[in-house]
Chains A and B, each alone.
Chain A
Amino acid sequence: MAIDADEKCNWGDELLQKVYRFALGLTKNKQDAEDLTVETWLRLERRAAAPQGSVENQLAYAIKTATNLWIDICRRERRKADGQESGRMQLSAALQVDPDAEAIAEEEAERMEIARDHLPERPREVFRLVRHEGLTFVAVAAKLGISVSTAKRALREALVALAAARTDEGVGK
């Protein structure tokens, strides 16, 4: 999607400039960076209009959104290069007729639950507070009497363990 030069100048928004800068660093291509920034902006606007619109950190949310969009674009390009059908079709096909995918997802969920239940107490509690109670790191740190960096380290530990369980790899592998 193209952007008018005057439109770009009118943005004048520090957040969007940071997103564009991030997108340029990520894509290494001005046109892709502009497209990615516009798409991210649209998503942010949409998110702001939603009932749960307040986002603690707009920049982090925008960067995450831009990254996920870029991942989607790269995947689509790869599928097109491989001559496969569009991802949407694959998703819908998987949803309707692929019992294996469902079974795999179930197995992944079971492994993740086991891994979570076997986490040491601190990572398990930090994960619960951040993921399921939506607390910020500052709030978690205050609640558990630890530093913010310790809370982050604990969450990293939990996330790596869950990722290893989901992909069926050992943490140390």
Chain B
Amino acid sequence: MNRIHHEAAHWSVELLDENFDGTQADRFARWLSESPEHLQAFASMQQTWDRSGQLNIPAPVERGQQEGSVGIRTVVFDVLAAAAVAAVAWLLINIGSPAAQVVKADTGVPKHIVLPDGSQAKLRASTEMVVKFGSEQREITLSRGEAQFDVVHDARRPFSVKFADSVAWDLGTRFSIRLRGEHEADLIVQEGRVCLGRDLQHCEIEVAAGEDAHLDFGVWKVNTWLTFWGAPLSEFVAEINRHNQRKLQIADPTIADISVGAIIQSGDLDTIKILLRKNRVRIKASGNPDVLLLVRDPGHLP
């Protein structure tokens, strides 16, 4: 670790200070812009900070969250044969109260569990989640790491996974979630469909088999290739919106029929912006952070 890394650590710590002020912000901007190495060192230090939140830290056990209790059968994996889903041993635990329970896969030891309803969860090493099954809900809270869920669908009792300010619930499916940081995560759907939203009431995005979604600072995007051959802008917007939590909205009806042709990744907002600009359409902020407005570029009036 050289001087630049120590300076990056200094700024990482200062940004945690509740008294960080505008003067420090100016100094930080100057330091960052002095050299690409500074930006790189800061990014690396931030990555360390994010990862450090996922380390295996012994924490006080909260009431109702005693580890390894109710209704969960644990299959311990041979690490070398983990991918083959070969169970080595079963640990059958008695069913107790419907209280939440913590399930952990320690460092270097993946874990495969069978939940009380027959659904299965494969936890990668260094993963932690809380399982709470009741008569009306099956709820899992993923606090660290990565897990794959193979869900036995039950429309009367939704199977949901809470993580990183979001909730995903199954529509009969197999899916994986990986936490990458406090507000960063990936979701991959192997079978069926998954709903994503901030609560169980609103399915903001539906992710289908073969698609993956990425959470970046609390905003979900689905990555899939979309092809448009001279589609009207209204159709383009509807399709993009189907894959993004932040929605585009045509604010000027006169642009709705503009013809759009592109092969584009649904979550690549940068490229979408460029494409729209080429079509003389501009994106502007609305009062709602979840909605971006599309207007005609004033430099290109009809």
Contact = CB atoms under 8 A, between A and B. Distances in A.
Contacts, number: 201
A108 B47 CA distance: 11
B107 A18 contact: no
Given A43-B218, A109-B54, A162-B48, A26 B1 contact: no
B55 A112 contact: yes
A122 interface: no
B117 to A, nearest CB: 26
B46 A60 contact: no
Most-contacted residue by chain A among B9, B16, B20, B124 (CB, 10 A): B16
A98 interface: no
B16 A88 contact: no
A interface SS class: helix
A: interface residue count bin: 35 or more
Contacts of A46: 217-219, 289-290
Q: Which 8 A-B pairs have the closest CB atoms?
A: A25-B29, A45-B289, A60-B20, A163-B48, A92-B212, A56-B18, A159-B9, A42-B289
17 contacts: A1-B284, A1-B285, A7-B284, A18-B25, A22-B25, A24-B29, A26-B29, A43-B289, A63-B25, A68-B46, A72-B216, A74-B36, A102-B124, A112-B48, A113-B56, A132-B57, A159-B49
Interface of B: 1-2, 5-6, 9-10, 12-22, 25-26, 28-30, 32-33, 36, 39, 42-49, 51-57, 59, 83, 107-108, 124-126, 165, 176, 178, 186, 188, 198, 212, 214, 216-219, 221, 223, 246, 265, 267-268, 270, 273, 282-285, 289-290, 292
